[in-house]
């Protein structure tokens, strides 16, 4: 078997830790502390995050969509595929190296979505992006830290806790959708969504487009 090769590494802003980019033949992996965060062979649920959210939006355009966490670009590519020519998609990515990796190493995997003129990238914590404006987004898609339970950043409570969810609620337009990806079910998070005011739906999706692989969870919270 071809061994993995680490081709770059980067610090995570604001904490003690780093992420690494690995390659094996045509396969890529992003990891932290020895744990794989994402793999280029497994991206069906990341695409489903965008597809499910967009399917629940009012079809009137233009949409304003915010994506928290660039990853390998699969969610962004799916959102572009579901959107009209006048949609604007903003991507908030905390780690500048992840943006660079997408441009230098990973772009071909998802069809180079960062090159689409509808896309704008902000290299900052999505928490800050959400807090900037109210009633502006039609959809907020969050794929950060493997979900609400957190893996790499305890401070993700600012995003998935009560006050973070309230900020997302306020940032959405009426009828807007908050979509959250997670590697596991979290009943406490479901309760927080409902208490904040979201009409909440939970969808279980497979990791792979083929319907195979482990199950992941996507929450869809609609602002009435």
Count the neighbouring beta carbons within 10 Å of the beta carbon of residue 200: 18
Length, in residues, of the chain: 224
- How far apart are alpha carbons 86 and 84 in whole angstroms? 5
pLDDT of residue 151: 52
Confidence band (pLDDT; 50, 70, 90) for 145?
A: confident
Question: Over the stretch 67-105, which tens digit does the pLDDT of each residue have?
Answer: 999 999 999 999 999 999 999 999 999 999 999 999 999
43 φ/ψ angles, rounded to the nearest 5 degrees:
-145, 10
In terms of pLDDT, which residue wins out, 137 or 17? 137
User: Domain 42-222 belongs to what topology?
Assistant: Rossmann fold (3.40.50)
**Partners of 10 in the β-ladder:** 19
Lowest mean pLDDT among 21-35, 148-162, 187-201: 148-162
How are beta strands 18-24 and 137-142 bridged, if at all?
Answer: unpaired
Question: Over the stretch 169-218, which tens digit does the pLDDT of each residue have?
Answer: 999 999 999 999 998 899 999 999 999 999 999 999 998 877 778 899 99
Q: What is the pTM of this model?
A: 0.94
Query: Is the predicted pLDDT of residue 4 greater than 90, yes or no?
Result: yes
Cβ atoms 126, 142 nearer than 8 A: yes
Number of H helices, E strands in the chain: 7, 11
For the chain, what are the domain ranges?
42-222
């Amino acid at each position: 078997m071809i061994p993995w090769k680490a081709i770059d590494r980067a610090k995570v802003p604001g904490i003690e830790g780093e992420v690494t980019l690995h390659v094996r033949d045509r396969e890529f992996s992003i990891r932290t502390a020895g744990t794989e965060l994402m793999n280029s062979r497994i991206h069906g649920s990341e695409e489903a995050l965008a597809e499910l959210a967009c399917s629940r939006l009012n079809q009137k355009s233009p949409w304003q969509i915010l994506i928290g966490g660039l990853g390998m670009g699969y969610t962004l590519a799916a959102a572009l595929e579901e959107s009209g020519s006048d949609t604007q998609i903003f991507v908030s990515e905390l780690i500048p190296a992840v943006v660079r990796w997408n441009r230098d190493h990973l772009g071909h995997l998802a069809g180079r979505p960062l090159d689409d003129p509808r896309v704008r990238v902000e290299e900052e914590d999505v928490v800050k992006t959400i807090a900037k404006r109210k009633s502006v987004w039609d959809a907020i898609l969050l794929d950060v830290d493997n979900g609400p339970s957190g893996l790499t950043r305890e401070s993700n409570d600012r995003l998935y806790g009560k006050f973070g969810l309230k900020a997302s609620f306020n940032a959405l337009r009426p009828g807007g959708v908050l979509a959250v990806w997670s590697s596991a079910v979290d009943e406490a998070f479901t309760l927080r969504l409902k208490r904040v005011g979201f009409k909440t739906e939970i969808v279980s999706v497979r990791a792979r487009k083929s319907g195979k692989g482990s199950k992941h969870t996507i929450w869809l919270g609609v602002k009435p």
